[in-house]
């Protein structure tokens, strides 16, 4: 009976440590996407009198991952969209240090940040009109950092 109790306690400790590591920004995905989310605001113009601007501050945000999305699949004006009509695949949240990760099967996806007033932020587009895409191959981890910069001036 004692050994079963010890095994159960060991399993709970392992689960707690795994969750703690994941929440502190340690990557645990074997296949999918991961990265950091930053908030960028204000005057980002270079100036010889001012110190170099930073990349923003880490921020918690909900991240929606959709099947690959093009401009014909959304409403609103870039970089803030009001409606996305493609299939929502997964939702994750970045931690207080801005780190996020998500296990995904092989495929092509579009990543949007949920912003104020039920809008969706994405500021990266390719030549095919696809919005903020990431392509995952079998066994691959793709790093995708996201800077939420619609309130910044460049």
In a domain, 56, yes or no: yes
In a domain, 102, yes or no: yes
In a domain, 77, yes or no: yes
pLDDT per residue as tens digits for the range 48-85: 776 666 678 999 999 999 999 999 999 999 999 999 99
In a domain, 54, yes or no: yes
Which pTM was predicted?
0.79
Give residue 154's pLDDT.
77
CA angle 52, 54, 60 (to 5 degrees): 170
Give residue 144's pLDDT.
97
User: Checking DSSP bridges between strand 32-43 and strand 146-153, what pairing results, if any?
Assistant: parallel
- Tally the domains of the chain: 1
In a domain, 132, yes or no: yes
Q: Which residues of the chain have a pLDDT value below 70?
A: 1-25, 50-54
The 3-state secondary structure of 34-69 reads EEEEEEEEEECCCCCCCCCCCCCEECCCEEEEEECC
Give residue 46's pLDDT.
77
CATH number at residue 134: 2.60.40.10
In a domain, 37, yes or no: yes
In a domain, 75, yes or no: yes
In a domain, 24, yes or no: no
What one-character-per-residue DSSP string does 91-118 give?
EEE--TTSEEEEE--SEEEEEEEEEGGG
Give residue 4's pLDDT.
54
By residue range, what is the domain housing residue 38?
30-153
Contact 70, 128 (CB under 8 A): yes
């Amino acid at each position: 009976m004692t050994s079963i109790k010890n095994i159960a306690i060991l399993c709970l400790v392992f689960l707690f440590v795994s969750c703690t590591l994941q929440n502190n920004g340690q990557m645990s995905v074997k296949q999918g996407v991961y990265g950091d989310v930053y908030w960028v605001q204000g005057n980002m113009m270079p100036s010889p009198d001012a110190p170099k601007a930073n990349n923003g501050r880490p921020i918690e945000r909900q991240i929606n991952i959709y099947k690959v999305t093009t401009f014909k699949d959304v409403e609103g004006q870039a970089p803030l969209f009001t409606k996305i009509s493609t299939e929502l695949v997964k939702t994750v949240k970045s931690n207080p240090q801005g780190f996020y990760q998500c296990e995904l099967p092989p495929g092509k996806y579009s990543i949007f940040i949920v912003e104020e007033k039920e809008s969706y932020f994405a500021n990266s587009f390719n030549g095919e009109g696809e919005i903020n895409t990431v392509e995952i191959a079998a066994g691959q981890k793709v790093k995708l950092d996201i800077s939420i910069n619609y309130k910044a001036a460049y």
